[in-house]
Amino acid sequence: MSEFKLTTPVAFIIFNRPDTTQRVFAEIAKAQPPKLLVVGDGPRASRSGEDEFVIATRSIIKQVDWPCEVLVNFSDVNLGCKVRVSSGLDWIFEQVPEAIILEDDCLPDQSFFRFCEELLDRYRCDLRVGMISGDNFQFGRSHSQDSYYFSKYMHIWGWATWRDRWVGSYDVNLSDWPLIREQGLLVDLLGDQKEAVYWATLFEKVYSGKIDTWDYQWAFANLIRKRAGVLPAVNLISNIGFGVQATHTVRTSHLANLPVSSIQFPLVHPLDVVANETADKFTKNNWFMQPLWKKIAQRIAMLIE
């Protein structure tokens, strides 16, 4: 990794967790991006003392000690996950044509940065590819000798994309969902009736305001445009944010604190941009649409741990 010099801007989404933010910032600092764009939400009025944690978290950015242009987009009031992250990403892609994106609880292996940069360059003009992720939830299962595979799923615990994939595609309000729902297009897009019902339920909850999030909208934008996501052959990101202070990942999970590995260079590329059905089936059956018995077994295992 010593010969690699990062040239891609890094976007850092933070809030009120100085502990995890410090750890992720330390890895960003090692990579020394030439431009760092920082998005932060404001404290919640209902949480006494949260303003102090927000201030402490933002002060970490002052530790930048390498040649770097630092741009910040901090909200004085709390916008919530849905509005703050989506508006922050809108702002990011007003500033730069592509970016590597990390949230304050997504701890990367150093090879993640080079992995993203090389594939941002390789697929910059290939509109079949929506994003590059650092996540691998295959738990050691290898499906080829390639360095990564393509997926219909968009994992965002450390990822990268381009302005032209975000702008004009992403819609935080899911305005196109009623049309997709009424025409029954999810089955065709996903190729599975049960999975279509699963995602339809989630999209409906987002559309009706029952879920305060931004990421299902990103999955929707790529799905309806039949874009694939890149997933590495080894896990490059560890989510260290599960716990009572988290916004969404409050309960523990077998996906929490996953170990990371370094990916090897030069990368070995797949022959074509085609989703790996075997890997996607494993993801669907083990994470998105787990049978009840498996959910119960995992809950018991977590309690024992």
- In CATH, what number is assigned to the domain containing residue 99? 3.90.550.10
Range(s) of the domain holding residue 227: 10-172+214-304
Residue 60 lies in a domain: yes
Q: Evaluate if residue 1 carries a pLDDT over 70.
A: no
Q: Distance (Å, rounded) from C-alpha 269 to C-alpha 289?
A: 29
- Going from the C-alpha of 263 to that of each of 2, 14, 159, 178, 228, the distances in angstroms are 14, 26, 15, 41, 20
Residue 139: is it exposed, middle or buried by C-beta count within 10 angstroms (0-12/13-18/19+)?
A: exposed
Of the spans 16-20, 283-287, 298-302, which averages the highest pLDDT? Answer: 16-20
Residue 37 lies in a domain: yes
Beta-strand relationship, 69-74 and 228-232: unpaired
- Buried/exposed code over 266-292 (b: 16+ C-beta within 10 A; e: otherwise): ebeeeeeeebbeebbebbbebeeeeee
Mean pLDDT value across residues 293-300: 41
pTM: 0.92
Residue 2 lies in a domain: no
Q: How many domains does the chain have?
A: 1
Per-residue pLDDT, 185:
96
Per-residue pLDDT, 252:
58
Helix axes of 193-207 and 215-224: crossing angle, nearest 10 degrees: 130
Q: Which residue has the tokens 């995992």?
A: 298
Residue 32 lies in a domain: yes
Q: Evaluate if residue 303 carries a pLDDT over 80.
A: no
Mean pLDDT value across residues 168-184: 97
pLDDT in tens, 94-108: 999 999 999 999 999
Residue 295 lies in a domain: yes
Residue 194 lies in a domain: no
Residue 26 lies in a domain: yes
Mean pLDDT value across residues 51-66: 98
* End-to-end Cα distance, the chain: 36
Residue 117 lies in a domain: yes
Q: Evaluate if residue 294 carries a pLDDT over 70.
A: no
pLDDT in tens, 232-272: 999 999 999 986 554 544 455 678 889 999 999 999 999 99
Q: Evaluate if residue 295 carries a pLDDT over 70.
A: no
Mean pLDDT of the chain: 91
Question: Which of 253, 238, 245 is closest to 24 using CA atoms?
Answer: 238
pLDDT in tens, 114-155: 999 999 999 999 999 999 999 999 988 888 899 999 999 999
pLDDT band at residue 221 under the 50/70/90 scheme:
very high
